[in-house]
Structure 1
C-alpha cells in the first residue's frame, strides 16, 4: 500500500500552508497539487466530495482543512 500523501492547495491559502508545515515538521513527505495551476486537480478534490482546499489524502482517505482529522493522516503516514 502506498504511503504517498497528497495535499491539494493554492498559494494564497493560510490553512494549506499550515498543513504543509505540519507535515514537513513531522517528517512526512508529500506531493503538493496546486488547484489554481491545474484544473484537473480541482476535479480530483471534487471526487473526494470537497470543493475547497486544503484537502489532504492518503490511501483514498481524504480530510478537509487543518483539523484533528489531519492527525489521523499523519499517524497513518508514520505507520
Structure 2
C-alpha cells in the first residue's frame, strides 16, 4: 500500500483526529500536513476548493471533514 494519503489538519481538531484514528485503524499510512505550521499547506487546501479542515487527499480525490462513507471509498482506493 502506498503512503500517498495526505491529511490536512491542525492540533486540537477533533474531526482531524477522528480521520487520523480511522486511517491508523485501517492500516493506511498517511502524511499529516499541519495548516497552522505552513502557509503553503493552507494554500494547498484552498487550491483544492476548501476553507476548513480536515481535508483528506488520495490521488485526485479530496474528502472534507469526517465523512465516513467518502473516507471509506478513499481508503478502499488507497488499498488497491
TM-score scaled to structure 2, two decimals? 0.93
2:8 is paired with a residue whose SS is strand
2:72 aligned residue = 71
Please give the alpha-carbon distance, in whole angstroms, between the structure 2 residues aligned to 1:34 and 1:72: 23
TM-score scaled to structure 1, two decimals? 0.94
* Length, aligned pairs only: 78
Q: Which runs of 4+ in 1 moved over 4 A?
A: none
Give the drift of 1:12.
1.2
1:31 is paired with a residue whose SS is strand
1:14 aligned residue = 14
CA RMSD of aligned residues (A): 1.1
Structure 2: 5+ residue runs without aligned partners?
none
1:60 aligned residue = 60
Q: Which stretch of structure 1 is more off in the superposition, 63-72 or 18-27?
A: 63-72
Q: Which stretch of structure 1 is more off in the superposition, 66-75 or 27-36?
A: 66-75
Structure 1: 5+ residue runs without aligned partners?
none
Please give the alpha-carbon distance, in whole angstroms, between the structure 2 residues aligned to 1:8 and 1:21: 14
